[in-house]
């Protein structure tokens, strides 16, 4: 019997990744570095992307879903049986692939399986060091809180919860259910803002969930979107000031990554920055999943009760390893931190 210490909730997706040109992004009005949702039911013409990518020479089908990438990454460091993952999938080949990747990484998959919807997919459109993510959630959109009840002993045994902010579009009730448990039991409850559209368009859900969080992780674009959505008075690019607003008078820790610029960490005690060791650009394969890998290394360090400085460093270390692989993946041979 495993004792999963880290429980992750997010949207399981299969990534369909290919290199495209600027013209292709323009055709669908996509930004080079972004994450958006498509609505399969509304006849969105972006639904054609998934089939179009299938004929690209370098197309790859890879395990994805932001939180799931972090779960696999944390297990890469912690080993088998320490990380459990909640999300909703269909009954199909994609779900089988995702479950197999989780099992290989040592993650316990606690999937809610839908009879009438296919597993969600994400087109990861690569141009140079940017990635534009176009997601059709499908079955991932159907997660319900009763699936947590069915696995409540795993929740009770866990020490740390990690929520992909992307899940705010799916089941805020489920997030709050875990948040309440974490608050009552004094456990860590960590939220990643995941994408600028989360604070922009899911502000109310975010507002409801934030009080349960002990830590918030985001990148500079998400921080800026937060500052705009919540109409903060500070400069929208002043990461330290935005983090201070989120901390407020709470005991929260806010961590903002900023590409190659130093990572900003703000707690009730004060602010710190942690420089990033730049990887030679010739070693970069693609940046899809870099943020998830950062979160993964960071979370694994927390599970191992390492100090904050070490956790940031482990996050940066795992992010650097991940961007040398195709997609949100980790080296085949385990490398020790
Ligand atoms: C709700 N949305 C849009 C999403 C996602 C998502 N994961 C969960 N929900 N949109 C993109 N991703 C995942 O982000 C990873 C890179 O950080 C992609 O599947 C990709 O693996």
Written as one string, the DSSP assignment of 164-200 is: EGGGGGT-HHHHHHHHHHHHHHT-EEEEE--STHHHH
Q: Which long-range contacts (CB under 8 A, 24 or more apart) does 41-46 make?
A: 46/134
Q: What parts of the chain have a pLDDT lower than 50? A: none
Residue 122 CB less than 6 A away from ligand 1 = yes
pLDDT score of 334: 81
Q: At 137, is the secondary structure helix, strand, or coil? A: coil
The response to whether residue 263 sits with its C-beta less than 6 Å from ligand 1 reads: no
Complex confidence, ipTM = 0.95
Ligand 1, atom 2, lies closest to the CA of 166
Q: How far is CA 244 from the centre of its chain?
A: 22
Task: Look up 292 and say whether it is catalytic.
Answer: yes
Residue 18, classed as helix, strand or coil, is: strand
The β-bridge partners of 162 are 8, 190
Q: Does the CB atom of residue 329 touch ligand 1 within 6 A?
A: no
- CA angle centred on 299, ends 296 and 301, rounded to 5°: 110
87 lines ligand 1 (CB under 6 A): no
Is the shortest distance between the CB of 169 and ligand 1 below 6 Å?
Answer: yes
Measure 309 CA to ligand 1 centroid, in angstroms. Answer: 27
Sign of CA dihedral 161, 164, 167, 169: positive
Strand 261-267 and strand 270-274: the pairing is: antiparallel
Ligand 1 mean position, distance from CA 270 (Å): 32
The preferred substitution site among 122, 218, 294, 325 for testing ligand 1, maximizing ligand atoms within 8 Å of CB, is: 122
Nearest CA to ligand 1 atom 17: 289
- SS3 category, 49: helix
pLDDT given at position 42 = 86
195-243 pLDDT, tens digit each: 999 999 999 999 999 999 999 999 999 999 999 999 999 999 999 999 9
Show Cβ contacts of residue 325 under 8 Å, excluding neighbours closer than 6 positions.
285, 331
Q: What is the pLDDT of residue 205?
A: 98
- pLDDT, residue 1, reads 62
Q: Which residue has the tokens 């903002």?
A: 256
Distance in Å from the first CA to the final CA of the chain:
27
Pocket of ligand 1 contains residue 137 by CB under 6 Å: yes
Annotated active-site residue in 15, 136, 286, 292: 292
Structure tokens at 265: 């960490």
């Amino acid at each position: 019997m495993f004792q999963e210490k880290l429980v992750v909730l997010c949207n399981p997706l299969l990534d369909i990744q290919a290199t495209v040109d600027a013209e292709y992004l323009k055709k669908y009005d996509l930004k080079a570095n972004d994450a958006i949702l498509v609505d399969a039911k509304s006849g969105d013409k972006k639904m054609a992307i998934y089939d179009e990518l299938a004929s690209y020479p370098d197309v790859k089908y890879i395990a994805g879903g932001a939180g799931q990438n972090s779960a696999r990454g944390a297990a890469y460091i912690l080993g088998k049986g320490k990380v459990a993952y909640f999300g909703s999938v269909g009954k199909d080949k994609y779900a089988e692939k995702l479950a197999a990747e989780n099992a290989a990484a040592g993650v316990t998959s606690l999937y809610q399986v839908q009879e009438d919807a296919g597993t969600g997919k994400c087109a990861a459109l690569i141009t140079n060091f940017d990635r534009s993510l176009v997601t059709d959630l499908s079955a991932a959109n159907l997660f319900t809180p009763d699936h947590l009840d069915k696995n409540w002993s795993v929740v009770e045994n866990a020490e740390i919860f990690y929520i992909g902010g992307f899940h705010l579009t799916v089941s805020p009730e489920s997030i709050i259910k875990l948040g309440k448990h974490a608050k009552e039991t004094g456990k860590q409850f960590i939220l990643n803002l995941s994408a600028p559209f989360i604070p922009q368009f899911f502000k109310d859900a975010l507002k409801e969930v934030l009080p349960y969080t002990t830590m918030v992780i985001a990148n500079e674009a998400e921080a800026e979107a937060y500052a705009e959505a919540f109409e903060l008075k500070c400069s929208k690019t002043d990461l330290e000031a935005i983090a201070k607003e989120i901390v407020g008078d709470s005991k929260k820790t806010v961590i903002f990554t900023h590409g190659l610029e130093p990572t900003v960490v703000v707690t009730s005690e004060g602010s710190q920055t942690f420089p990033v060791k730049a990887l030679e650009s010739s070693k970069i394969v693609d940046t899809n999943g870099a943020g998830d890998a950062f979160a993964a290394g960071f979370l694994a360090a927390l599970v191992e009760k390492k100090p904050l400085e070490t956790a940031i460093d482990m996050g940066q270390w795992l992010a650097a390893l991940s961007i040398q692989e195709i997609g949100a993946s980790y080296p085949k041979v385990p490398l020790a931190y």
